[in-house]
Structure formats: structure tokens, C-alpha cells
Structure 1
């Protein structure tokens, strides 16, 4: 009889893991307190970022840090009341973001990113979700030649070291690509390899339906009820249908992983970067053709099925603090200056929390001190990108296959020896 498995967390990481386990003959039940894909996986820029081999580091420039201190930017915002609690995480994040350490982390991180498109393609085709995918990359818009030159030099480095494809766009090229874009942009950088998703929540739901077609089940339950089974072997979770037992459990809980692991004696330095989005109609006959980031301002515009989605940068705050969408208000004001946005289409701003480790890499592997427990969380800005690759890697390790990637760099033991 195949081992029974509970996957806790039904975001893109958990659903992808459940699929790969079900494909390998495991009896899998996916458990979440909400319906699948409604937490962090719901709100993002909708990019499968093949170019994202270098994780987002903590700024090292003192002048820039001073400017962040004024707390009036779009790309980053903080709650002063949370800073004392956040200092240990931010300190370690800053330390790992040193140039030499950051470059070493990128080399360790890159194999996951490099496989992101191929692994998504597998699940997209299997789930019949092709209508949600565009394969024309995304662009970064530049207001100054200094920023443009620096970003193009970095793109050239990534092309040489990691095989990333890009194209430099002049002011005239940009005008042809985006005729309704306003503002004095000097040009753009177009990343050619990434795919974009016109409905990230819809993609997670399509993957869920594929999982269910493989015999998998979904149950409503709370990860806080996780406990060892009375027999001493396996795990139990309370669900709306009563207690659910399994031989093995996978924790794919995103920013809530710290709650579950801390109860078991682990100390993962997991921080969160909160983010916001809002959808808008386009005014008149205006069309936004590309996923586009205003590089010097730090917000993103994405032409999705529901409308044009505006996403903000990172908010550093307590994970469960009330919404404070000041970045969204700042971004909307600037975005309306460069593109004819019409009315808001959402009743209120959406907010989610990205789960981040200080070394910018996810936690993937077997729990060091508990039998029958596996971890898959901490993917920061790249949860959507890395869902299928992570799911395959975890499933291969759990079933004794040779992993298609060396998982050493992402092992839990780096934080919990």
C-alpha cells in the first residue's frame, strides 16, 4: 500500500508538491484553512521568472538606506512599530547581501530558477492551462540613462553566466511596443525568457483540478492542529471532516511555516515582505501590451484577465498587522501619470505576505529531527516561479528517487543543525 501523505498549504508550492507525489503513487490529501491559492499565491505580478537567478538582496548603499529611512517610497515601506522585532532578520539579510556572499548565493540558487519554465510547462500542459500563459517576457522601463546603463550591464553579465536572454529597447522601440505609455522614458530592457500568467489564482486552480484527476483530495483544515499520531508513527491534522491521519506530512505553509515549525522546536529565521495589488480598467481604447516595471519607482503593471494589475514593492511589518496600503496609493499616483488607468476594479486592495529567509533561498528537504516530515517554504518573491520545480524535487526525495537537482544548498539543516 502506498504511503499516505498530507500536504499542508494549498498555494502553488503545496499544490505542485501534491501533484508530483500523486504522480508517484502516493495517496495525497491537500489541506488548507482556505480554498486553494487564496493566500500569497493569489496576488503577485504573474511572472515565471526564468531571468530571476539573482535573488532580491538587501541594499548595501548607505545613501540608499538613508533614503529608505524617510519611509516615503513605493518599492519599500516599513512599520516603525515592527522594526525592533524585525532587526535580527534584517541584520542577517543585510549580511548575506554583501556582494561576494550574494554572488555565491545566486550560483546556488540558479539551478531552481533555470528549471522553472520547463517544470511549469509540464504542469501547464497536463492541466490544460495554456490559455493562461503568455510567452513574450516582460520589460523594465528606465527614466534615466544611468539606471539603464547599469541594468543593461547586469543583464549582459547574466546572459554570459546563466544564459538569460534579453533585448535593449531604445526610446523609439519602447514607443512602438507601448504606444499608450506616457512619460519621459529613455528606453527599456526586455527580458525574453520569462512567461507571464494572466490569472495566477486560475493557474493554481487548474493545477488543483489536475491533482484531483490523479486521485488526490482537498480538505479544509488548520495547520495549527498538526500533531504526532497517537501511535507514535505518522501525523494527524484536524479538518472539517474530522481528524485526518497520514504517514508523512509536507509543510508548504509559506509565511505561516514558522508557526508550525516553532511548535516542533525548530527556529527558522523566517521574515515576511508584505505586498499589495489592485486591478484597474484602462481608459478609453488604451492597451498595455507588456508586463512592465517602472524601474526607478519600484511598482509593476501587468495586463491580466481581470484588468491591469498594479503591484507594489515590499512592506516590512508584522505578518498579521492590518493592511496599510500606502505604497499602493503612492504607486497609483505615479502609474496614472504614465498610463491612462481608469477606475479601480477591486472593492479593496489585496495584501499578501512573501515568506523570506535571510539567505534568500527556500527551505526544501527532510525535517532534521522528525520522521515523516518534509519542508517546502521560504520562496520569497519566486513562489509562483518555483512551485513546480520545488514540488518535483520534494517528491523525488520523499520517494527515494535521485533528485533532478542537488538539494544541498536549500537543506533545512543550514538553520537547524
Structure 2
């Protein structure tokens, strides 16, 4: 089997890369060991975060660091055995999260984020999937006046710097927007109005794949570990034994990317933040109108087609360690007190893995040591958010067009 380009990894990033390449007239083969969108891309909170110009940093205030050291929070948890291996990454992550560094990173990162909604809108329209998008934004709700004032001041600053739109919600306004929350425990909220949300992330992935195949793209099961270079071409052995060949290979393997790139001589400082979710019925006639972050407690509730999705924060652990959904167990009773959740809809919590770099920016662009090898991973919490943007960027680079976003800050060469 021959193609112009083979994309390894059928998460939402790889899918978007493949779709954009096929749109550009390049015959493309999309390869994964599982069905498209079934790994990390399945379990996100469904946010296309137009407001997310500051990637999630490592806290620097003593209070947060003390809380995390106790290892009993919802928004962060760690495995003691994993810390020695993770320590170099965590230290670099902490250094990049210093205020001056974080601000400089945000102004680079914003060049990607500013296109996230429009680029997904374009792909969703072509794929007939606009029905999966909601244009209501999302909310942070606050339990203390201090937290509300700090976050609203931050939002005002981001509005001045980046033109991001928001609404400050007092408790009466919050009651109108979300009548079924427990307002007695809250003081108000912050409504980010620019983002869009996805009520079925897996459904969106499948819609993009269907459009990719409609345009002539091919989808196949295969193992990225079989990748070999043969002269000017690359080859991968598919699950049925067929050898697929192409001049260009795009590695979009998310949290598994470093397994392959290390074999090729690239040692990226990639780490994994794990996360969990569970779906619930809503009790009675209760309705959640927006995705909601319980800011002080550190969990997220999102209305999905499958039910109300409760998601947790970051778990620092070995990528393939067994599930330890302690954050979900901590979050569930608190979430039930905020919103009337009914029964669980799955037998087991879902576990996903987010691929992270210490400078909080994805790795997008050509491999410095190999011709025809391209990288597209490391999107951390913003894989869904940045998928369509990244897909267009990679397609423009592979086809030799002018890239609509300056790719220099995200180049793989910054780690080589």
C-alpha cells in the first residue's frame, strides 16, 4: 500500500492532521492500534478553549504547593514511586511556570489558541458535525469572595491583553444560568463566552474521520513500532501484514510519542498527566446548561450526550501504571452536593493520559535529523482545543505552503 503521507496516531490531533492533508490533495493513510478517538481524545471535558492563552502551569504559591504535597486534593495526585523519574520534568515545568516565563509563553501560545474555534468550526461544518458543538462557553463557579475577585481580575487582564470576552456573574445571575446548582455554597461565577464546547468528543473524532474517508483517505489498524526508514521512504506494517509506504510520516501518538521518537534518536522531555472521568444521570429534572469548574475544589462537570461527565485534575504517575481513581472518589461526593448527580453510568472510571512538555507548548513541525518525518504531539490539556489548528499547520508544512501560524515557537528543534 502506498500513500503520500502516513499519520501515526488516530487521536483528535492525528485525525485533524490526516483530514487536512487529504483536503490538500495528499493521499493519506491514518494508522492506529485502536479505533479513532478511543484513547486520550475520548475523555476530555469537551472544551475548545479560546480563553486558554495561558497553558496550565505549575503552581508557585506556597499554599498550593503545601496542599499538593499532602497528596489529598482532587486537582492533583501523584504516585510516590513515579516521582524520582518525573523529578527532572517537574523541575523544568516549575521553572517555565515562573510568572515572567509563563507570560512570555502565553504570548506565543496565544497565536495557536486564537484560531481554535474558527478552525474547528470549519472542519465541523465540512464534516456535518456542527450539531455536536455548543456556543454557550463555560463557567468557573466560586465558593469564596477572594477566589472570585482574583479570577475576575485575571480575566480583566486577559481581556485587555488578548481580547477575551467574559461575564462576571453574581449569585442571582448564576441562578438564572444554572438553576440546579447548590447556590448556598457559592458566591458567584465567571462565564467565558468565547469558547465552544463539544457534547460528544468521540463523536466529533468519528465525524472528522468519516469526512477524511469521504475525501479518499484510508484508515488502518497497525503498530507504530514497526516504522522503518528505507532510503527516501518510510514504511509501517499494518495489522493484516500489509506494508504501507510513504515519503512522509507524521508522528501524532500523544502520550506514546516518545516511545517511537526515542528509537529514532530524539529524546524529548515528554511526561504524562493522567486523568479520570465518570458519567452520571442527572436526578429528576435537573439540567446542567454549561460545563462548570468548581474552582476551589478542582473538578469539572460537563453536560455530554452520555450524561453528566465528572472529570478530575492531573495525576502524576507512570503512563501505564494501573488505575488509581482516588481523585474521582474525592470529587464525587462534593460534586453531588453542588449538582444533583444520579447513578453512575459506567462500571469503571475512564483513565486517559495527556502528553506534556515542560514549556507547556506542543511539538509541531519537521524532525531535525530526518527528511520526511514530522512531529505533532505534546498538547497536554489542549489536544481537542488545538487539533484543528495543528492539523492545518502540519498540512501546510508538508505541502510547502506558507504556514498560517508562525511555527517557530513550537518547533521540535527547541529540544534537540
**Does residue 336 of the first structure (1) align with residue 336 of the second (2)?**
yes
Structure 1 partner of 2:96: 96
In structure 1, distance between residues paired with 2:178 and 2:55: 28
The Cα of 1:243 is off from its aligned counterpart by: 1.6
What's the Cα RMSD here?
0.9
SS at 2:84 equivalent: helix
1:345 aligns with 2:345: yes
Provide the residue aligned with 1:212 in structure 2. 213
Q: Tell me by how many angstroms 1:267 deviates.
A: 0.7
Query: Could you list the per-position Cα deviations for residues 344-363 of structure 1 after superposition, in whole angstroms to 9, with x for gaps in the alignment?
Result: 00121000000000000000
In the other structure, the counterpart of 1:166 is 166
Partner of 2:238: 239
Q: How does 1:176-325 map to 2 (within 5 A)?
A: 176-182=176-182, 183-229=184-230, 232-241=231-240, 242-325=242-325
1:396 matched residue in structure 2: 396
Of 236-245 and 390-399, more deviation after overlay is shown by: 236-245
CA distance in 1, matches of 2:361, 2:85: 21
- 1:166-194 alpha-carbon deviations (Å, 9 max, x no partner): 00000111111111111410000000000
CA contact (8 A) 2:127 2:208 kept: yes
For 1:215 and 1:347, the matched residues in 2 are separated by 38
In the TM superposition, structure 1's runs of 4+ consecutive aligned residues that sit over 2 Å from their partners are none
Counterpart contact for 2:134–2:199, Cα < 8 Å:
yes
SS across alignment from 2:329: helix
* Structure 2 contact 223–239 (Cα < 8 Å) conserved: no
TM-score (structure 2 length as normaliser): 0.98
Task: Name the counterpart of 2:30.
Answer: 30
What does the per-residue CA deviation read over 1:360-414, in whole Å, with 9 as the maximum and x for residues that have no partner? 0000000000111000000000000000100000110111100001100000010
Q: TM-score, with normalisation over the residues of structure 1?
A: 0.98
Q: Bigger CA drift: 233-242 or 308-317?
A: 233-242
d(CA) in 2 for partners of 1:167, 1:349: 33
How far has the Cα of 1:62 moved from its partner?
2.3
| SS class of match (1:394) | helix
1:91-117 deviation per Cα after TM superposition (whole angstroms, max 9, x unaligned): 000000010000000001001000001
The 2-side partners of 1:112 and 1:254 are apart by 18
1:6 aligns with 2:9: no
Between the two proteins, the alignment pairs up a number of residues equal to 413
Segments of 5+ residues of structure 1 without an aligned counterpart are none
Q: Matched residue of 1:102: which SS? A: helix
CA deviation after TM superposition for structure 1 residue 3, in Å: 6.3
Does the 8 A contact of 2:20 with 2:395 survive in 1?
A: yes
SS in 2 for 1:45: coil
- Structure 2 equivalent of residue 124 of structure 1: 124
Distance 2:215 2:203 in 1: 19
CA deviation digits over 1:121-159, x for unaligned, max 9?
A: 110100000111100100000000100000000000111
Tell me how far apart the structure 2 counterparts of residues 179 and 410 of structure 1 sit (CA, whole Å): 42
CA–CA separation in structure 2 for the residues paired with 1:333 and 1:235? 51
Q: Distance in 1 between matches of 2:67 and 2:75?
A: 12
Gaps of 5+ in 2: none
**Secondary structure in 2 matching 1:106:** helix
Find the counterpart in structure 2 of residue 133 from structure 1: 133
Q: State the match for 2:365 in structure 1.
A: 365
- The residue that corresponds to 2:51 in the other structure is 51
| Aligned partner of residue 73 in structure 2, secondary structure | coil
The answer on 1:327 being equivalent to 2:323 is no
